[in-house]
């Protein structure tokens, strides 16, 4: 059976050191780790970005809270994060690998999200990640008015 895999890549006009902190500092992650700025309030975030450390993100949309948490497997500062990903109330535990590399004018972020139970789950996570990356750009890229 073929492993279900999601790969996303985007270049941001943000240097690597700053991009790293946007992913590993809870105060920064709370500002962008949500699929939209309009339908979700600020995310409640806790991040302990070290091997064996944990994270938790709680995103609210209306009266509903969507929460995900996991454990960091590998942390290579400014280069790579690997962590588990599990939504509260769900059995599926997937794996996320995020790599950061130099790109003209900023940083290339590549997300490889694997170990999905179904193609539908992979597709939904793809929508969510694309929205989160859009939010990150809207909030932190210097050319965006929200940044």
Whether 147 is covered by a domain: the verdict is no
pLDDT per residue as tens digits for the range 74-120: 999 999 999 999 999 999 999 999 999 999 999 999 999 999 999 99
Whether 66 is covered by a domain: the verdict is yes
pLDDT above 60 (res 145): no
Q: How far apart are CA 67 and CA 90, in angstroms?
A: 10
Whether 125 is covered by a domain: the verdict is yes
CATH no. for residue 125?
3.30.530.20
Q: Which residues contact residue 6 at a Cβ distance below 8 angstroms, ignoring those fewer than 6 apart?
A: 111, 112, 113, 114, 116, 122, 125, 126, 129
**CB 69 within 8 Å of CB 86:** yes
pLDDT per residue as tens digits for the range 3-59: 899 999 999 999 999 999 999 999 999 999 999 888 888 899 999 999 999 999 999
Total domains in the chain come to 1
- Entry pTM: 0.93
Whether 145 is covered by a domain: the verdict is no
pLDDT computed for residue 89 by the predictor: 95
Range of the domain at 110: 5-140
Hey, is 28 helix, strand or coil? Answer: helix
**CB 134 within 8 Å of CB 118:** no
Whether 51 is covered by a domain: the verdict is yes
Whether 56 is covered by a domain: the verdict is yes
Whether 73 is covered by a domain: the verdict is yes
pLDDT computed for residue 144 by the predictor: 59
Q: Could you report how far apart the first and last alpha carbons of the chain are, in Å?
A: 43
pLDDT computed for residue 42 by the predictor: 84
Q: How far apart are CA 63 and CA 55, in angstroms?
A: 23
The residue that leads in pLDDT, 9 or 141, is 9
């Amino acid at each position: 059976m073929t492993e279900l895999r999601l790969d996303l890549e985007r270049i941001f006009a943000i240097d690597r050191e700053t991009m790293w902190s946007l992913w590993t500092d809870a105060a920064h992650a709370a500002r962008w780790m949500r699929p939209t700025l309009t339908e979700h309030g600020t995310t409640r975030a806790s991040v302990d970005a070290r091997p064996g450390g944990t994270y938790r993100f709680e995103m609210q949309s209306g009266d509903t809270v969507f929460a995900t948490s996991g454990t960091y497997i590998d942390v290579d500062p400014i280069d790579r994060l690997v962590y588990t990903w599990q939504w509260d109330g769900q059995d599926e535990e997937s794996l996320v690998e995020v790599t950061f590399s130099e790109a003209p004018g900023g940083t290339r972020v590549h997300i490889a999200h694997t170990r999905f139970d179904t193609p539908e789950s992979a597709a939904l996570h793809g929508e969510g990640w694309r929205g989160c990356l859009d939010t990150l750009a809207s909030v932190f890229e210097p050319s965006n008015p929200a940044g």
